[in-house]
Each structure stands twice: as structure tokens, then as C-alpha cells.
Structure 1
Amino acid sequence: MGASGVWIGTRFIASKESKAPQGFKDQVIQADNDSWVKLTVWSGRPLRALRDPYLTDWEANRQAEIKDLTGRGIVSLEYKLDRLHKEGKLTDDIEDAAALRPIGVVAGSVN
């Protein structure tokens, strides 16, 4: 029996035809095998994304908050960004760090 399907995508992010921002394409090309992390901060469901200190901190230190918010049907990261915006504390750096940059475990193989 052979495979009946395959899940692909990371390589296509860096392709010439991709509409991904050039900065994200560059990050995928520069990624190594440790550049990704599995996060639940966007939806409460695991998603592999480009490693980032801001998002990694959420995953390491704010699991109770993620579980509480997603348990109430609230996307935790969007909730936090909205609160920061309303309080006038949302910076470009935070907004950039929180951007969804999904990549797979093969990111280190893309060149």
C-alpha cells in the first residue's frame, strides 16, 4: 500500500509564485530544523509556526489563559491584541511578533 495523499505547503511559501510577504519568505528560507514551534495560542488547536519569543512565551507561561479563553470560544491571541489596542499599548513590534507564520517541520530543508 502506498500513500493516498500528502500534506505540503511550507516549500510553497518561499516560491516565486507565492503571495506571502517577502520577509516571511526570507524567514522560511533561513529557517533551520529548530525554527518552528507547536502553538495553541491562535485557536486552542496545535499549529506549527515560526518560532518567536513573544509567541513562545504565551505557550510556555500562559496555558491556563489560553485554555480559559478558548474554552469560552475566544481566540486568546486576538483577545489580547484587541485589549492592547483599546488600551493604546499595541506596538508594531507586538503586532509583528503575533502575526501567524505557519511552517512545517521541513522548514530547514527549504532553500
Structure 2
Amino acid sequence: MPSRYRRAADQAVMLYRFFENKEGMNYAPVFTALLGSIDEVAKGFLVRRLQPELPVTVEEQKAWFAPYLGGVDSLAKTQRERKSEDYYRKLAQNLKRTLVTAI
């Protein structure tokens, strides 16, 4: 395990040990110590898995990150389901930000 991840894990364990015998404690700080490491590992995983599939030209990338979603709303029955097209567009924007800036 890289040292930065080990330090985060050690910090989480120390916080847990501090809180474990106290009554009514909120354990959120224990997990907060791990969030940066988890985010970094997840981003690395996405980049390794998807970057080889990423088109080279800007126009191909635009098409790749903006798939046709027209059928998503037509199948929606509830207000929540109708928001799914917007959800997928935002998800594609976040993925593009992650993959294109990692090049």
C-alpha cells in the first residue's frame, strides 16, 4: 500500500480507537480520513479502464461523451424517471472531465 494511503488508514484507525469506548459518538470522522484515498483510487481505476477507449480527435470525443438519449425521457413514467436524461448528461460531463484532463 502506498504511504499516503497507509497514513490515511492509520489516521482512520487512530480515530476509531479514540471513539470506540465513548458513548454516542459519531463515527463520520473515521471514514472522512479515507475519502481522499478512495477518490484517488476510483479516479485511477476509471482512467485505466476507459482511457484506452477514448477517441483521439476532439469531434469524436464530443460524440462519445454525448450519446443519443432521446429515448430515455419517452419511456419515463414518473417525474423522477424523466430526470434521468439530465442525470446521464451530467454523468457524461463528469466522466469527460476525469478522462480528458488525465491525458
TM-score higher than 0.5: no
TM-score (norm: length of structure 1):
0.28
The structure with the larger Rg is 2
TM-score (norm: length of structure 2):
0.29
Greater relative contact order (CA < 8 Å, ≥ 6 in sequence): 1
Is the strand fraction higher in 1 or 2? 1
Is the helix fraction higher in 1 or 2? 2
